[in-house]
Amino acid sequence: MVQPGRARPKKRLGQHFLTDPNTARIVARGVTKDDIVLEVGPGRGALTTVLAAQAKLVHAVELDPDVLPVLRRTLEPYQNVLIYEGDALSFDYEALTPPPNKLVANLPYNVASPLVLRLLEEMKSLLELRFMVQLEVARRMAAARRTKDYGAYAVLVQLLAEVRVEHKVSPRVFDPPPRVWSAVVMMERRNAGGEDYERAKKLALAAFKSRRKRLVNNLPDALREEAPDALHALGYGVDARAEELGPEDFVTLARLLSGVE
């Protein structure tokens, strides 16, 4: 039963509200009074209050109008939190002033993967991203090549940031408890993107289209003729599959293939 004055989590929004203060402190680790923090999906504010006590300013973006009254009441003692109502995937983050240098959040399950990649690609001010997601999603983000979790998504986020899984999180610290474990992921930006990234992205998305096929066979016809020589220059054979290549290999391969634009 939901207590009076507390918003009920919505399954369709992927909401699992954090209830454990110690977990909130783990997620907020490293935030200082010099930081402008972006929090997406603050919910009832369990993490937001910790961030407000540590950061210079917190931009909190919440989609659910039903939770906003609870969030505002929770944050009444704090003057350094700005609350916005909006959809995480379409919100205009570039309009935030001052721009955030860190993302710290318990991300809604149903938007975490596309949101993290969008923020890495578009928000150059974000130098660190520290957040909770489902453990299986965290593993896909940090996956090493030649593993089952390694795919185009891992290539893209690892081209833009150093990625590591720092802490496993029990379902018991959420309301409602999810059916799976979660994890705290830490990302430190290493690349602002640019033309090399865009070319590598196009190539990686094509290369992983079918994991069972050779990388060459996943490429557009225009690239297949020159792909074997390019792979050989990188030390790979013509039978190489996409999961054998590291993220930086896709950058180099895209440079070698004249048809990737």
| Beta-ladder partners of 161 | 189
Residue 5 marked in a binding site: no
Please state, in angstroms and rounded to a whole number, the distance separating the CA atoms of residues 247 and 261.
18
41 is in an annotated binding site: yes
Q: Percentage helix, strand, coil, to 5, in the chain?
A: 40, 20, 45
205 annotated to a ligand binding site: no
Q: Is 68 exposed, middle or buried (0-12, 13-18, 19+ CB in 10 A)?
A: middle
The Cα–Cα gap between 225 and 131 comes to 43
229 is annotated as contributing to ligand binding: no
Q: How far apart are CA 58 and CA 18, in angstroms?
A: 18
Mark out the alpha helices in the chain (DSSP H runs): 21-27, 46-54, 68-74, 112-122, 135-142, 152-160, 195-207, 215-218, 221-224, 227-233, 247-256
Is 18 annotated among the ligand-binding residues?
yes
* Parallel/antiparallel/unpaired status of strands 174-175 and 17-18: antiparallel
Q: In sequence order, which residues have a C-beta less than 8 Å from that of residue 235 and are 6 or more positions away?
A: none
**106 annotated as ligand-binding:** yes
Binding-site annotation, residues:
16, 18, 41, 62, 87, 106
Going by the annotation, the residues of the binding site for S-adenosyl-L-methionine are: 16, 18, 41, 62, 87, 106
